Amino acid sequence: MGIKPIDLFPPPVVGPRTSTVELRGTGRRYAKVVGGRGGDGPLTLGHLGMLKWIRQEQPYGRWAAAPLELPPGAGVEDVVAALGALVARHEGLRTLFPGGDEPVQRVLPHCELPVDVYEHGEATPAALVDELFHRLRDGEFDLAAELPLRTAIAVRDGVPTVAAVVYSHVVVDLMSAELLGREFTALAADPARRHLGPPPHQPLDQAAYERSPAGRRRLDTALGYWERHLRRLPQCTWAAPRSTAPPGGATSGWLWSRAGALALPQITARVGASGSMAVLAAICAVLAWRTGHRHFPLPTLASNRTGRRLREYIGPLAADSLVPIDADADSYDEQLRRVGGAVLRAGRQAQVDDVARVRMIDQIHHDRGNWYGRDTTFNDASTFNDSETGPAPDDQPGPPPDDQIGAVPAGQTGTAASHRAEGAATGPEQARRALGETRIWWQDWPAISPLLAWRLMQKRGELVLGVISQDRNRVPPEEIEALLRGVERVLVAAADGDFPLSRIGEVSGIEPMERGAGWRLVDSSWVELAEAQRLLDETLDASARRVFAVPDGDGFRLVAYLAGGPVRTPREAHLACVAAMPGRRTAMTPHRYVICAAPPADPTDPAAWARQPVLADGDGRTDP
């Protein structure tokens, strides 16, 4: 089954859960944990970010669930002892978070870890693991009083078949879960390894570093990086016309493409970049062509494991990095190099003080009059799913469409060398021929915050790439399918050799977004004038209010005229508009507010407004 967290993404939402797996509880074992250091300390930035995310959104991803690979011959006592040694070594696994609104991390020097044991009947290992996950997720973690992990073993006639663990994401990110899985297997295989060992870098140490002068300097540099890009990039990448239908709920489409997997080795061998970056470059080229944005933000999950002390660190480090996409490249290969460099630079600046970042973003919202809402994101989980044995079908966001799609060639390893060898053996013509095998797999999805979320699940054997839409009426299934197939076509074309991005429409089969005459490019963002007017109508109490777009260099600026009502100053008007902006992806507050004594006879005529007596005039950003 491999050692990888499989709960990277939630299962389909298809009504009440059913299971045919029979488990009979045979008791609970307790792993005695005797650690080293204990005590209280401040939270790390990773703790704070995860706690905030869970409290605000209650996401399905608050769990990090993983199967535990059992070495040959391991008995129940070996599993329990290995789990106890694991918790002893890593302080985050024996940490409570008391304190309510101002929690601390409280490391327990010793404790007991409960391990549930179940006897099972006939069932596949994947079905057993899924059932264990379901039981381990029964009830929220009480992080103030409960250890932040739960474990269980399924046995047949007393012999372990599978074991599973569910962690709270407050203490473990997916890379940590991967590292813990490897370490567990080694501990279960060899009792001689089950000693405490030298103390690694722990969350208490990380919290101290973040508050040191060196840590503060690094965080200040990261904050400056975010501010520099958020002050110039569009507020919304997927600036699509407003749907007239009510919100339709989330959905997802998943591309299963052998053609894409065959294309990647050709590209990586030629350019010297990773397969993940090749996919991301294709996504960026397609997004730029479809949306009309040559520059846009693309939040991407970064591991933040830079520096020797963090490589084996067990704790929450992964967080959004802000990747500024520059889609002005002349060719696909150049685009790939630019994207790779941008991702690398963004990853170095991903760890940031969230409180300071929120304060900074609020100031930018006030100054620019926009709303940055992470509308389009990219997450790469293929590192976990591209194992040497190939991904198990049950680990994926949907079953393989048929028996021949999903097979991983025997002996394939997932290394760059094997990618090059496979590419040399197959050639781009095989990638083109495999286009006919591609399938799109559809799943309903729980609510998510991004409007459009790209997720790369697998690159070996088949490319498994998903698009999750927050609102199926705003980003309908036909749009999702066009985007996925467009990315696949770009990769297959790039397998044949570099090509100019001026051909991206022809290559991808995608048309630029039709926005109509009521759209303007304002401060690098596509703004729907009807939505800007709606913002004024729903926010400002005035007998007449109109917003107009006036030319400003290569784009436009918004000017609002108001008459009547209680608003007396541009600042009052601006503060009200900024407060009403969250969720309005294609609106923007005016850059100038003109408060007139009375409206003109024709409120739709900007020249007529300009002739009215003015009571106050300004940008509203600063006091007069």
Domains of the chain: 23-203 (3.30.559.10), 216-235+246-508 (3.30.559.30), 519-618 (3.30.300.30)
3-class secondary-structure state, position 562: strand
Q: 615 is written with which tokens?
A: 């009571």
Asked if the model's pLDDT at residue 179 lies above 70, the reply is yes
List the alpha helices (DSSP H) in 503-593.
Answer: 504-508, 529-539, 570-579
* Conformation bin of residue 58: beta by default, left when phi > 0, alpha when psi is -120 to 50: left
pLDDT at residue 277, as a whole number = 96
- 458-509 residue pLDDT tens: 999 999 999 999 999 999 999 999 999 999 999 999 999 999 999 999 999 9
3-class secondary-structure state, position 333: helix
- 360-377 residue pLDDT tens: 999 999 999 999 988 999
CB-CB neighbours of 303 under 10 Å: 19
Region 220-227: mean pLDDT is 96
pLDDT at residue 426, as a whole number = 59
List beta partners, residue 323.
Answer: 298
pLDDT at residue 401, as a whole number = 39
pLDDT at residue 204, as a whole number = 96
Q: 465 is written with which tokens?
A: 């790439």
Q: Give the pLDDT band of residue 385 (cuts 50, 70, 90).
A: low
List beta partners, residue 167.
Answer: 64, 149
Q: Give the pLDDT band of residue 18 (cuts 50, 70, 90).
A: low
User: Which pairing describes strands 614-618 and 592-596: parallel, antiparallel, or unpaired?
Assistant: antiparallel
CB-CB neighbours of 276 under 10 Å: 21
Report yes or no: 555 and 522 within 8 Å, Cβ to Cβ.
yes
DSSP states of 573-615 as a string? HHHHHHHT-TT-TT----SEEEEESS--S-TT-HHHHHTSPEE
Region 498-523: mean pLDDT is 95
Q: Which residues contact 412 (CB under 8 A, 6 or more apart)?
A: 390, 418, 422, 460, 461
CA Rg value for the chain: 27
pLDDT at residue 485, as a whole number = 98
CA dist., res. 579 & res. 240, Å (int) = 22
Region 166-191: mean pLDDT is 94
CA dist., res. 489 & res. 406, Å (int) = 19
Asked if the model's pLDDT at residue 170 lies above 90, the reply is yes
CA dist., res. 175 & res. 313, Å (int) = 9
Asked if the model's pLDDT at residue 54 lies above 90, the reply is no
User: Which pairing describes strands 23-34 and 159-168: parallel, antiparallel, or unpaired?
Assistant: unpaired
Mean pLDDT of the chain: 88
Report yes or no: 220 and 107 within 8 Å, Cβ to Cβ.
no
> Which has more confidence, 268 or 396?
268
Residue type, 11: P
CA dist., res. 508 & res. 502, Å (int) = 11
Asked if the model's pLDDT at residue 521 lies above 60, the reply is yes
Report yes or no: 262 and 412 within 8 Å, Cβ to Cβ.
no
Q: What angle do CA 292, 295, 300 make, to 5 degrees?
A: 110
Given the structure tokens 């918004």, which residue do they identify?
Answer: 558
pLDDT at residue 149, as a whole number = 97
Task: Name the DSSP letter for residue 331.
Answer: B
**Percent with pLDDT over 90 in the chain:** 74
- 281-298 residue pLDDT tens: 999 999 999 999 999 999
Q: Give the pLDDT band of residue 304 (cuts 50, 70, 90).
A: confident
* Axis-axis angle for helices 275-291, 477-496 (nearest 10): 120
Q: How far is CA 505 from CA 356, 496, 511, in A?
A: 41, 17, 6
**Percent with pLDDT over 70 in the chain:** 90
CA dist., res. 459 & res. 167, Å (int) = 26
pLDDT at residue 16, as a whole number = 55
CA dist., res. 315 & res. 180, Å (int) = 11
- Dihedral of the CA atoms 49, 50, 52, 53 (nearest 10)? 110
What pTM did the predictor assign? Answer: 0.87
Task: Name the DSSP letter for residue 342.
Answer: H
- 388-446 residue pLDDT tens: 333 333 334 444 433 322 222 222 333 333 344 444 445 789 999 999 999 999 998 88
What's the 3-state SS for 471-491?
Answer: CCCCCCHHHHHHHHHHHHHHH
Given the structure tokens 């339709």, which residue do they identify?
Answer: 248
- Give the closest residue to 287 by CA, choosing from 492, 479, 575: 479
Report yes or no: 118 and 24 within 8 Å, Cβ to Cβ.
yes
CA dist., res. 227 & res. 207, Å (int) = 24
Residue type, 324: P
CA dist., res. 538 & res. 531, Å (int) = 10
Q: Give the pLDDT band of residue 6 (cuts 50, 70, 90).
A: very low
DSSP states of 33-46 as a string? EE-S--EEEPPPHH
HSE (CB half, 13 Å, CA atoms) of 338? 18
CA dist., res. 289 & res. 506, Å (int) = 11
DSSP states of 178-224 as a string? HHHHHHHHHHHH-GGG-S--S----HHHHHHHHTSHHHHHHHHHHHH
pLDDT at residue 263, as a whole number = 96
Report yes or no: 242 and 465 within 8 Å, Cβ to Cβ.
no
pLDDT at residue 388, as a whole number = 37
pLDDT at residue 12, as a whole number = 46
- 599-621 residue pLDDT tens: 999 999 999 999 999 999 999 99
List the alpha helices (DSSP H) in 243-353.
Answer: 258-271, 275-291, 332-348
| Secondary element (H or E) of residue 90 | none
Report yes or no: 76 and 112 within 8 Å, Cβ to Cβ.
no
